[in-house]
A and B are shown apart, each in its own frame.
Chain A
Amino acid sequence: MNAVVHAEGLVKAFGRAKALDGLDLTVEKGEVHGFLGPNGAGKTTTIRILLGQMRADGGRITLLGGDPWRDATELHRRLAYVPGDVTLWPSLTGGEVIDLLGRVRGGLDPERRADLLERFELDPRKKCRAYSKGNRQKVALVAAFASDVELLVLDEPTSGLDPLMEAVFNECVVREKRRGRTVLLSSHILSEVETLCDRVSIIRAGRTVESGTLADLRHLTRTSVTAELIGPADGLAALPGVHELTVDGARLRCQVDQDALTAVLGELARSGVRALTTQPPTLEELFLRHYQAAAR
């Protein structure tokens, strides 16, 4: 089997609360895999089991061909992890932490380290207590990207980064992918995962609800369109792929399937547009649609 991560029917309970309830996850070698779910869905719990920090109550899990609990130390030579909420040693500088993490992971590339520091605009001489959340995250990211590993496990890595730094992060992930590395990227923001990931697993309440390429999930993604029109757009309701159309005077709202967007925009242009907003579907809308699709 070529899977870097393979989990089947993972179960983990904290007291009476079930954090994981039969979760499946497969990450193939060389892919960027999006691990998507709302807050509290069990993403971090899965990652902690993957890192051998917790033991699953049930199910099977392999990591890089080994048992993440039993073989933790050996497996950790081959991966780097960036936690969602990075806490660092307040009395150490960022540079010291990067070098410490690099050294215990078996050394890091000094050139790449310098390059990453520059790209992320991080001052390595500051003490960690003086860093903001985003800067602490950058320290962990630089250490991870500069080390020589097969798998990167990134838990909501951009939650503290500004849009500019998010772009730098995206470049870094693409570069890692080109090097043939595998990336597991957890997030609760669909658009973030969309741009980077080859495949996506969507989880909710400790279970995997969807898994596949983004094209596979296309049937779930609808764009919501809000427009203020000059003339009437009577043809819109008849178009295939338009849902939940409401018209309130000149204001119009609807949900549009991805492949019907061109036709819808043509129709709107014919009527004349004063204002237009389109929004990608939120994760919650996606879930809603998933359950509606399942019920039908």
Chain B
Amino acid sequence: MTGTWSLIRLILRRDRVLLPLWIVISALLPASIAASTAGLYTDQAARDAFAAASMSNPAQLAMRGVIHEASVGGLTAWTLGSSLTLIGGLVSILLVLRHTRAEEEAGRRELLSSGVVGRHAPLAAALVVVPAANVLLGLLSVPGLVANGLPAGSSLLFGLSVAGGGCAFAAVAAVTAQLTASSGTARGLAIGVGGLMFALRAAADTGGVAWPAWLSPFGWVRLTRAYAGDRWWVLGLFVVFVAVLAAGAFALSVRRDVAGGLLPARQGPATGTLRGAFGLAGRLHRGTLAGFAIGFGLLGALLGVSARGLDTQLNTPQFRDLAAVLGGSGARVSDVFFSFVMYVLSQLVTGAALVSALRARGEEVAGRADLLLSTPVGRLRWALSHLAFALAGPALLLAVLGVAAGLAYDCDALRVAGATLAYLPAVWTVVGIATLAFGVLPGLAAAVSWTALGIFLVVDLLAEFRLASGVVLDVSPFVHVPALLLDGAGSPVAPLLALTAVAGALAVAGLALLRRRDLATA
């Protein structure tokens, strides 16, 4: 264990931005949810009605589980238990692997191990910092909850439950880090275990059989019943789980070589069939794209299921009025809901498209473009091979999203898919911006593209709260897409053609500038 303390300091130094950001956001979230719950549902009758509606919605049951008590505290714990464990678990997995297996894969661990650093030190350091961060964020959330008038004891229990969830997945990652030589595979394994755990809890809460929830940290986070009876002893399950897995990870780590894994590295074909730049791009993009397609498909299905009950659940005069204001008289609440959600999701799809669009720049930075471009593959062909996936990818994702949502909702998949695909030209416009930045400011391409998307998000948010109008609003390409599910929507042809033209012009300019500049790795 020699050198653990130095490695802890190294981790804190490397993640000096990420760690505080994650801790602060996660610690502030409970107080803000508690405040808004108290504000939205002022009396017990309102809270009971909300709880009853939520419990009759299978999507809510699957996502968040059962509401134990319809108090402000009970609802806050229900709203956040699953989501905070999801976020904390994911961040914990990524952090632990980043400081263990990824370091080994990059060869940096060897450098450290040749110094005075014990065999167990890297794993020990990661397993100190990440769980400590989880516990810290759990403790920091307590004062905010107490300030909202919630009991201190239950708030502490809630904070520790969430911390326990994060720690559990840090321990899972510690084990998967020992199994494979590739950090990507270790990440996939850990996230897969997380998915399985989530599914166990979701199955228990929707299926009416309680015991599977007891097998999953996602279940334990809710089974502590904070604000609804406070079962402190459930925290012991986290402690046992983390202790067993951590001990297992240390035991496994002495049975393998540095940079080796317990599972044999998979071998691939000795000869290749890739024909050129486009074949290579296909190989590089297909995994990510398939992952996104599955994700958006599931998201769409979940939304479709949630929207099913909306028309009856929200059949109150207020919501009918709201629907009429937003969607014209006689608009269905579910159509308004879908239109709004599509708007937000199209921006998520844009994020996925940016990942593809920026891949060419990633290849350039890594130096792999140098090798490929020293062959008869020209720059334009190379850039187009990646751009093709940045343009076709979002078309696939929007179609999958729309079809899945439509099928899960009312079987009119084509109508919903048409509405989602209408966002394609807006997504392309952001891809165009990324391509232009890649051509002219390669070092800032990623920053410029994501900032542009961020600005559009803010503009849209302002629009939603009626805080912006006119010229400011026109900046965002998403604002110009008509909501095709609503009767009042105008003809989509003109705005969509205009957006496509803008996207095309941006991309062409970017490609032309790319041909004129030096390749640069920084």
Q: Which A residues are closer than 8 A to B by beta carbons?
A: 48, 51-55, 72-74, 76-77, 79-81, 83, 85-93, 95-101, 103-106, 124-127, 129-130, 140, 153
B376 near A130: Cβ-Cβ < 8 Å: no
A106 near B368: Cβ-Cβ < 8 Å: no
Chain B positions 265 through 289: 1 when the CB is less than 8 Å from some CB of chain A, otherwise 0: 1111111111111011001100100
Known: A48-B519, A76-B374. A103 touches B276 (CB 8 A): yes
B182 near A104: Cβ-Cβ < 8 Å: no
- Measured CB to CB, the nearest residue on chain B to A88 is B368
B370 adjacent to chain A (CB < 8 Å): yes
Given the complex, which residues of A lie within 8 Å of B366, measured CB to CB?
A: 87
Given the complex, which residues of B lie within 8 Å of A103, measured CB to CB?
A: 274-276
Interface SS, B side: loop
Q: For window 404-441 of chain B, which residues contact chain A by CB distance below 8 Å?
A: none
B181 adjacent to chain A (CB < 8 Å): yes
B283 near A91: Cβ-Cβ < 8 Å: yes
Given the complex, which residues of A lie within 8 Å of B372, measured CB to CB?
A: 101, 104
B367 near A100: Cβ-Cβ < 8 Å: no
A93 near B367: Cβ-Cβ < 8 Å: no
B267 near A105: Cβ-Cβ < 8 Å: no
A53 near B284: Cβ-Cβ < 8 Å: no
Known: A77-B376, A104-B377. A124 touches B271 (CB 8 A): yes
> How far apart are the CA atoms of A86 and B372 in the complex, in Å?
11
- Measured CB to CB, the nearest residue on chain B to A55 is B518
A-B contact pairs, 30 of them (CB 8 A): A48-B519, A51-B374, A53-B370, A55-B518, A76-B374, A76-B376, A80-B375, A81-B371, A83-B371, A85-B367, A87-B366, A88-B371, A89-B280, A89-B283, A89-B284, A90-B184, A91-B283, A92-B268, A93-B272, A95-B271, A95-B272, A96-B269, A96-B271, A97-B272, A98-B272, A99-B271, A103-B275, A125-B267, A126-B265, A130-B181
B266 near A127: Cβ-Cβ < 8 Å: yes
A83 near B367: Cβ-Cβ < 8 Å: yes
B496 to chain A, nearest CB (A): 36
The 4 closest A-B pairs by CB, nearest first: A96-B272, A93-B268, A81-B374, A99-B272
B284 near A73: Cβ-Cβ < 8 Å: no
A125 near B374: Cβ-Cβ < 8 Å: no
> How far apart are the CA atoms of A72 and B519 in the complex, in Å?
13
A76 near B375: Cβ-Cβ < 8 Å: yes
> How far apart are the CA atoms of A171 and B93 in the complex, in Å?
48
B105 adjacent to chain A (CB < 8 Å): yes
B295 adjacent to chain A (CB < 8 Å): no
- Measured CB to CB, the nearest residue on chain B to A81 is B374
B373 adjacent to chain A (CB < 8 Å): yes
B188 adjacent to chain A (CB < 8 Å): no
Q: How many A-B residue pairs lie within 8 Å, measured between CB atoms? A: 120
> How far apart are the CA atoms of A29 and B265 in the complex, in Å?
45
Known: A89-B284, A104-B376. A54 touches B274 (CB 8 A): no
- Measured CB to CB, the nearest residue on chain B to A106 is B376
B378 adjacent to chain A (CB < 8 Å): yes
> How far apart are the CA atoms of A54 and B520 in the complex, in Å?
8
A127 near B378: Cβ-Cβ < 8 Å: no
> How far apart are the CA atoms of A104 and B368 in the complex, in Å?
15
Given the complex, which residues of B lie within 8 Å of A73, measured CB to CB?
A: 376-378
- Measured CB to CB, the nearest residue on chain A to B377 is A104
Given the complex, which residues of B lie within 8 Å of A83, measured CB to CB?
A: 367, 370-371, 374
B288 to chain A, nearest CB (A): 11
> How far apart are the CA atoms of A99 and B272 in the complex, in Å?
5
Given the complex, which residues of A lie within 8 Å of B375, measured CB to CB?
A: 76, 80, 101, 104-105
Given the complex, which residues of B lie within 8 Å of A101, measured CB to CB?
A: 371-372, 375
A53 near B373: Cβ-Cβ < 8 Å: yes
Chain B positions 389 through 401: 1 when the CB is less than 8 Å from some CB of chain A, otherwise 0: 0000000000000
Chain B positions 182 through 220: 1 when the CB is less than 8 Å from some CB of chain A, otherwise 0: 101000000000000000000000000000000000000
- Measured CB to CB, the nearest residue on chain A to B260 is A130
Given the complex, which residues of A lie within 8 Å of B518, measured CB to CB?
A: 48, 53-55
B270 near A125: Cβ-Cβ < 8 Å: yes
- Measured CB to CB, the nearest residue on chain B to A105 is B375
> How far apart are the CA atoms of A90 and B105 in the complex, in Å?
11
Given the complex, which residues of B lie within 8 Å of A95, measured CB to CB?
A: 268-272
> How far apart are the CA atoms of A98 and B379 in the complex, in Å?
20
Q: For window 138-182 of chain B, which residues contact chain A by CB distance below 8 Å?
A: 181-182
Give the residue of B266, B270, B277, B370 whose beta carbon is less than 8 angstroms from that of A104. Answer: B277
Given the complex, which residues of B lie within 8 Å of A93, measured CB to CB?
A: 267-270, 272
Beyond known contacts A76-B377, A99-B271: 7 more, CB 8 A cutoff: A53-B519, A83-B370, A87-B368, A92-B283, A100-B279, A103-B275, A125-B268
> How far apart are the CA atoms of A73 and B373 in the complex, in Å?
8
Given the complex, which residues of A lie within 8 Å of B184, measured CB to CB?
A: 90, 129
Given the complex, which residues of A lie within 8 Å of B275, measured CB to CB?
A: 103
Chain B positions 339 through 371: 1 when the CB is less than 8 Å from some CB of chain A, otherwise 0: 000000000000000000000000000111011
- Measured CB to CB, the nearest residue on chain B to A127 is B268
A261 to chain B, nearest CB (A): 40
